Amino acid sequence: MIGERERMSFALEYIKNVKERSNNLQSEFKNLAQKLPAMLVNSGVLMTIAFVTKNSIGESRVGGSAGEGRDRAEANRIMLTLLIEWLKKVGVLGQEVTVDGALEALLGLSPTGLMIAHDELLRLAEPLKLLAEATLKGGGP
């Protein structure tokens, strides 16, 4: 069984990677991490993964400069990778699933499998949010 220590350790590895990047990328990732628990609760796992997938493609055109758009897309790509790798680690998704094929793989899960994926991501989202708030620059609190 996966415990709190493993979740924190897993999230921390991604936070360390983001912390070595630009301040803007840190801010984008921090904002996304802060919103993740609410996104999962309000929209569910499929919509959350679809949202992060959509925003990880190319440059976001929502305000800001091209550099900010690249950072936003990269923050979403890192988040998507984190979420999918976690679902693979806990056995919800097979090791062969790629980030690009994750949404399709999730759509193929049974209702019980989707509930497990949701619960696992929600359990990961809170420590991720706390670590992002404590260590990354920019964004909110």
pLDDT digits (tens, 9 = 90+) for 64-86: 455 567 999 999 999 999 999 99
pLDDT digits (tens, 9 = 90+) for 90-101: 999 999 999 999
- For residue 52 the two structure tokens come to 């992060």
* pLDDT in the model for residue 66: 52
Assigned domain for 48 exists: yes
Low-confidence winner among 59-68, 100-109, 127-136 (lowest mean pLDDT): 59-68
Assigned domain for 140 exists: no
Contacts 24+ apart (CB under 8 A), 112-115: 114/44, 114/45, 114/46
Domain span at 55: 4-135
Contacts 24+ apart (CB under 8 A), 14-19: 14/78, 14/81, 14/82, 14/128, 15/128, 15/131, 15/132, 15/135, 15/136, 17/78, 18/75, 18/78, 18/132, 18/136, 19/135, 19/136
Assigned domain for 95 exists: yes
Alpha helices in the chain (DSSP H): 4-19, 23-55, 66-89, 102-107, 111-135
Assigned domain for 141 exists: no
Distance, CA of 24 to CA of 139 (rounded, Å): 9
Which pLDDT band holds residue 61 (cuts at 50, 70, 90)? very low
Domain CATH for 39: 1.10.520.30
Residue 63 has pLDDT above 70, yes or no: no
Q: How many domains does the chain have?
A: 1
